[in-house]
Amino acid sequence: MVKELFVLDELVRASALLADEGDFKSLISVLVEQSLDITRSDLAALYLFKNPENKNSDLKLMYKRGAFEVANELLADTELVEFINECEKSVVLQERKPGPFDDLFVHPLMNSGIALPLKTSKSRIGILILNSRKALFYNKNSFNFLDSYTKQASGMLQNSRLYRELKDYVKKIEDLERYQESIFESMTNILITTDENNKIEYFNHIAEESMGLDEESIGVPLSQYFKKNLSRKVLNATEKVGATGQEILGMEGIYKRNNDERDMDFSLNVSALKGVRGKHKGLTLLFTDQTREQELKATAKVATEDRRVIKDMFARYLSNDIVQNLMDSPEMVKPGGGTKHATVFFADIRGYTSFSEDKSPEYIIEVLNEYFSEAVEIVIKYGGYIDKFIGDCIMAAWGVPMVNETEDAVKAVSCAVEIQNLVKDKDRQFFKGKAESLKVGFGMHTGDLVAGNLGSSRRMDYTVIGDTVNLAARLEGVSEAGEIIITEDTRKHLDDRFIIESRDAVKVKGKIKPIQIYNVVGMR
């Protein structure tokens, strides 16, 4: 227990120990150790807010002194924490009795305690809790010492935290500057920047090699340095960008070299650098050496790797995840064709023929594109491959080029259900006005087919062919507006989430026996 005027001496001594520390963790250690030693408490625990900006933040134990286990957290919704947060006052309990602040006793053997907020005028830091096994242990002197000491420590902790954040911020800026410098130096294009007076401020090593820039060039007006190398038209254009802030892209010209070397054909982009509130801070000039590019193209063999072929072939018609998997494993897409077990659907617009009779081609294309734009996104969302558009019909497949037999059928049917639900939605963004009566019918089948690159050297497409494709197309003709007609081979892969109606078997072209079909009404 702290006694009488001894408080002031101990406060001065303990404060001096705090002043010797600048590190946040060291300050925490000194605060807890000195608070426990000077008050002769049995237990001291410092809890800090996990997120000081959040009023509902829990607190985490950061430092403990004493031979007793304590909780690793203080929850924000306890009455102790809520009271300290709201009133910003300390809490002192001189004996253990049932009450709202039982959390102040952080161990069952403790019988008196004190909790003090660590805060500044602008920030919350945490709560310091001290306990003693003796009842009536803390007196006015104890409180005065701890109150003064925690207030002083709060300011020092906040300053230490701000200093640490500032150091981290400065380090990020330095790292960013080094990263930026590395990028500029690794560029194959010529980069030059100017200040607000259009004087040369920076250039990369390519500019140094190609245009002879050196340290003495820094601070020289751009128009003065390049007056013999660039045409007046180019220099005037750079000055115009500085005056108006409007960038210039792809301006072509010839850079006349000062020596006997061949002149350089270039393409130039000029952009304005802007500071706070759009204030002009200079220019960025990016030259592309077209002469060098042409020489490289003439001497280097251009090779297209398998991954780029795959990306170009599938990127527009498959989800990004599937395209990435194919690029990682290009052997999955073999040249020529291969047998796959897949699910195919045809989605045709019902009422399209009569609708289009008296409409202009431009309007019809607009209607189709509005519908296709949304339907295609749903197909890609469910991992389908857009094989082709046949007039007003979408042909899509699951299981090519990647196969997952059970999931393919489920995803294909789920996709069709979502498209039908979208068509039925009164807030849809397509089939509006004169096209509002249009509906969609689906035909779908699961089975073996051939998938691969078909075409000639002039035009090559990845597509699917075979009896499975033909049957799906026939069933599309059987389906009515709003229906999703599937075969038994598709139905057997579906689970109870789908609402399915059995239909009478139908006779289709190319099949001797009738085909058992079903209509997918929706999903549960």
Under the banding of pLDDT at 50, 70 and 90, the label for residue 340 is confident
Q: pLDDT tens across 461-518, in order? A: 778 889 999 999 999 999 999 999 999 999 999 999 999 999 999 998 888 899 999 9
Q: pLDDT tens across 186-242, in order? A: 667 889 999 999 999 999 888 888 888 999 999 999 999 999 999 999 999 999 998
Q: Break the chain into its structural domains and give their ranges.
A: 1-164, 190-294, 334-523
Q: pLDDT tens across 436-460, in order? A: 999 999 999 999 998 877 766 556 6
CATH 3.30.70.1230 fits 334-523, yes or no: yes
Question: In whole angstroms, how far apart are CA 83 and each of 49, 115, 150, 233, 407?
Answer: 15, 11, 18, 72, 55
Q: pLDDT tens across 384-430, in order? A: 888 888 988 999 999 887 767 778 999 999 999 999 999 999 899 99
| Residue 437 CB partners (closer than 8 Å, separation 6+) | 351, 355, 431
Question: In whole angstroms, how far apart are CA 61 and each of 50, 126, 295?
Answer: 10, 10, 66
Other CB atoms within 10 Å distance of the CB of residue 182: 10
> Among candidates 345, 338, 347, which has minimal Cα distance to 448?
338
Can 190-294 and 334-523 be said to share one CATH topology? no
Say which CATH class 190-294 falls into. Answer: alpha beta
pTM above 0.85, yes or no: no
Beta bridge partners of 65: 44
Q: What share of the chain has pLDDT > 70, as a percent?
A: 85
Could you say which DSSP state residue 71 is in?
A: -
Q: pLDDT tens across 244-303, in order? A: 888 999 899 999 987 767 888 999 999 998 887 778 889 999 998 888 777 666 554 444
Rg (CA), the chain: 38
Q: Sign of the C-alpha dihedral, residues 94, 95, 98, 104?
A: positive
- Residue 264 near residue 257, CB atoms below 8 Å: yes
Under the banding of pLDDT at 50, 70 and 90, the label for residue 80 is very high
Phi, psi of 497 (to 5 degrees): -70, -20
- DSSP collapsed to 3 states, 199-259: EEEEECHHHHHHHCCCHHHCCCEHHHHCCCCCCHHHHHHHHHHHHHCCCEEEEEEEECCCC
> Among candidates 175, 37, 51, which has minimal Cα distance to 123?
51
Q: How far apart are CA 427 and CA 448, in angstroms?
A: 39
Beta bridge partners of 190: 287
Other CB atoms within 10 Å distance of the CB of residue 165: 10
Give domain 1-164's CATH number out of 3.30.450.40, 2.40.50.180, 3.40.50.300, 3.40.50.1000.
3.30.450.40
Q: How far apart are CA 170 and CA 167, in angstroms?
A: 5
Total residues found in the chain within this entry: 524
> Among candidates 41, 31, 7, which has minimal Cα distance to 111?
41
Place of tokens 């096209």: 435
